[in-house]
Structure 1
Amino acid sequence: MTPFAERDIRASFLNASRKEASDLSLPADVADRDFTRLDFLGWADPKLPRRAYVVAEIAGGPVGVLLRQAEQRTLTRAQCSWCEDVTLANDVQFFSARKAGAAGRKGDTIGTLVCANFGCNANVRRLPPLAYEGYDREAAREERIQRLRAHVRSFVHGLGA
């Protein structure tokens, strides 16, 4: 993923008002992150409870999504819809997002189960266990990375991007 300037990130949100985008708190460590190991940038807003954000690179530019975290606690036996992690090292949380445009103004939303700490980027980069003799673990890892990117793109496109 390409690192983007703060103003580009704030301008990228397709389902947030200008006020919501200007009020968001960027992660404190965003400048220190290794964007070459990120397929999306995801974080919870420390100032606004139950609000989170995801920024993905789509067609060469950032596309941001404002997410609402469900009131319920994290799910410990669910599978993340994005990274499809089955080791359950991370809890999973239900997030919903208002659709862009007229559909969002009518109240239409979509939801997904995602790692509660947005750890999907690290999850897909772990070398999978040896499934059988001759199993290409590197190819399996690359396939997981590609699937994560496809799942995130699909979610963002479902919002009207």
Structure 2
Amino acid sequence: MRSHSESALRKSFINCSKGAAQRINFPKEILNADPAVWEKQIFLSWSDPKSPQRAFLVAETTSGLQGLVMERNAAQVKGGGARMCQICLTLHSSSGVSLVSIPTSKSSQDKYGSIGTYICSDLECVAYTLGKKKPDGIRQMEETLTPEEKIERMLGNVQDIFTRVEELLKK
């Protein structure tokens, strides 16, 4: 991922108003990172420290730099078993994956315009994909893909989410 200014990051959010994008809290590590750090990023994801149920995803897509505002479901998942992140396809215990709602309307009045997907609760999809992090207590599926192929698959999954949101925003 190339280095981007704070202004470019704020303008990238496709599913919120300009005013809401101006109020997004960015981690200091993102805003103060040097270009070498940016090059190691596949996409950016973080939680709002002031409002942990809010999460953000920014990626370079076929439409350019794009960002999404997401809301985590506060309800705890009942029952055991494994859940899979729809971005990195990592299996987690039920508490390791969160259902997020991605608004598909820029208006805060429209409460019903959203899509849902499951993502890693800690938003560390890149670390799981690169094998730098492993979820506790869940055995992962054996894969024969190279790290580059896993990254490509993950980016395809991210692109699919952005495409779905863009299609619903046009309606």
Give the structure-2-normalised TM-score.
0.76
Residue-pair matches, total? 153
Maintained 8 Å contact 1:53/1:67: yes
Instruction: Establish whether residue 108 from structure 1 lines up as the match of residue 109 from structure 2.
Output: no
Read off the aligned partner of 1:39 and give its amino acid letter: I
Amino acid at match of 2:24: L
- Structure 2 partner of 1:20: 20
Q: Does residue 147 of structure 2 align to residue 147 of structure 1? A: no
| Equivalent position to 2:70, from 64, 67, 83 | 67
Matches within 5 A, 1:38-57: 38-57=41-60
1:14-53 deviations in Å (ceiling 9; x for gaps): 1111221111100121133732332210000111241111
Aligned position for 1:124: 129
Following TM superposition, the consecutive aligned residue runs of length 4 or more in structure 1 with deviations greater than 3 angstroms are 73-76
The code of the aligned residue for 2:10 comes to R
Change (3 A) 1:87 1:14: closer
State how far apart, in whole Å, the 1-side matches of 2:151 and 2:56 are.
20
- Structure 1 residues 80, 26: closer, same or farther in 2, change over 3 A? same
In structure 2, list runs of 5 or more residues that go unmatched.
133-139
Secondary structure of 2:91's partner? coil
Give the whole-Å Cα distance in 1 for the aligned partners of 2:7 and 2:43: 17
The whole-number CA distance in structure 1 between the counterparts of 2:70 and 2:111 is: 17
Q: How far, CA to CA, are the matches of 1:5 and 1:14 in structure 2?
A: 17
1:112-155 CA distances to partner (integer Å, 9 max, x unpaired)?
A: 1111111111111128x9x6xxx9x6x52221111100000000
Aligned 8 A contact 1:14 1:100 in 2: no
Structure 1: which 5+ residue stretches go unaligned? none
Superposition deviation, residue 108 in structure 1 = 1.7
Q: Is the 8 A contact 1:95 1:114 kept in 2?
A: yes
